[in-house]
Structure 1
């Protein structure tokens, strides 16, 4: 969760903490957060996208669907989802398969060829003297002269 949405979640938790036992619709949440203006549609959208995090975290419980849905504080603090034995096993399989893919990728990555670098202002003879190899490519004008 980014800092911005983390701050928004904290503000939402404060709104629900200030109204224990009260079921709030999204419109009531918007009013309590002061984002009912026509120019604040983006902030309302961000609040709507943050609410499922609070529901999954166990801080609020949702009842109903759509605009009539209500949210109520559970009184419990936010909890982080923990992996069950089955979830941990699946994660371990994923990690092993990823490690295998990374190993294969490293093995199949071509290694760079060690090529002698030409120094600025160096002649062909000096380059050959240092152990460099010169490859002469055929050209159509070379064939025409022969």
Structure 2
């Protein structure tokens, strides 16, 4: 089927249904990627054909979902490392946060030599012309 025939079959070929056609157009590539449709051609010559591929797994029943949820809840309750209160979580986060490294104190009006004498560290970046001179 072409895109136009898909629009007609889905009832969105009428004037004023541009949003619905846009939704169909945006869904088609996803169906091709999943393997539910096969596409041949490009642009207005594109045609789509069903591959017959079915969904891999049916949706779980309500009883199965409730069983899974119960198992998850039991794991959460039995977890030894679970922190139950907000205050305990904040205290644990504070204990696990590393202390920031102290930077040397900057003194107004000091020279580079004085800064280096106090234990400071200066990185000098070369200018592009210095790098070019070195290359020659």
**TM-score using structure 1 length:** 0.38
Determine which structure has greater relative contact order: mean sequence separation of CA pairs < 8 Å that are 6+ residues apart, divided by chain length: 1
Q: Would you tell me which structure has more helix in proportion to its own residues?
A: 1
